[in-house]
């Protein structure tokens, strides 16, 4: 039985401050055969607003809870590391797998991301074709994974 907070197709949330990268990731998912609802926000602070269903994001039929989050690291207001820490500290969101997709190959960033709960860390390719291949790997893994929906008992 589906819960009221569930969307017919699991949603994906992209947390990325570069609007061009948001669109490239969306297109790469589409070219990989992913028909799921894909939402995009500009930084970690906006992601927390989306996840809590506040303001513009209050209607869960339009802004469903994601079952996968893909985040950049370096963003204004709240970066990816802080978002990972925020997610890990909240029972209602800590089960949502979060993958870092960033241009940083710095070992310190990689270590911090995993320490804060990242389920994967991927270097963002420069070429769109390479991004599509990487997103296809993410999509295939995600489609094959058993990921629990957040339940009302996990809500505020």
57 and 63 Cβ atoms separated by less than 8 Å = yes
**Joined tokens for residue 120:** 């994967």
Alpha-carbon distance of 63 to 140, in angstroms, equals: 23
Which residues on neighbouring strands pair with residue 41, listed in sequence order?
15
Highest-pLDDT range among 29-33, 79-83, 136-140: 79-83
pLDDT for res 8:
52
Residue with token string 């296809």: 136
pLDDT 10s digits, 128-150: 888 889 988 888 887 777 665 55
pTM value is 0.86
Domain ranges of the chain: 11-154
Of the options 1.10.760.10, 3.40.50.2300, 3.20.20.190, 3.40.50.720, the CATH number for the domain spanning 11-154:
3.40.50.2300
Pick the closest to residue 84 from 47, 113, 111 (CA basis).
113
30 and 136 Cβ atoms separated by less than 8 Å = no
């Amino acid at each position: 039985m589906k819960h009221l907070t569930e969307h017919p197709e699991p949603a994906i949330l992209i947390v990325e401050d570069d609007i061009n990268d948001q669109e490239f990731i969306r297109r790469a998912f589409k070219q990989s055969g992913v028909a799921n609802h894909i939402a995009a926000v500009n930084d970690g602070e906006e992601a927390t607003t989306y996840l809590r269903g506040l303001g513009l994001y209050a209607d869960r039929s339009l802004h469903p809870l994601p079952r996968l989050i893909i985040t950049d690291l370096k963003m204004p207001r709240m970066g990816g590391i802080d978002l990972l820490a925020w997610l890990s500290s909240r029972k209602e969101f800590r089960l949502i797998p979060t993958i870092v997709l960033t241009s940083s190959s710095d070992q310190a960033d990689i270590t911090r991301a995993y320490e804060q709960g990242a389920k994967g860390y991927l270097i963002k390719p420069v070429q769109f074709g390479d991004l599509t291949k990487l997103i296809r790997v993410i999509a295939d893994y995600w489609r094959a994974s058993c990921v629990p929906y957040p339940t009302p008992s996990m809500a505020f």
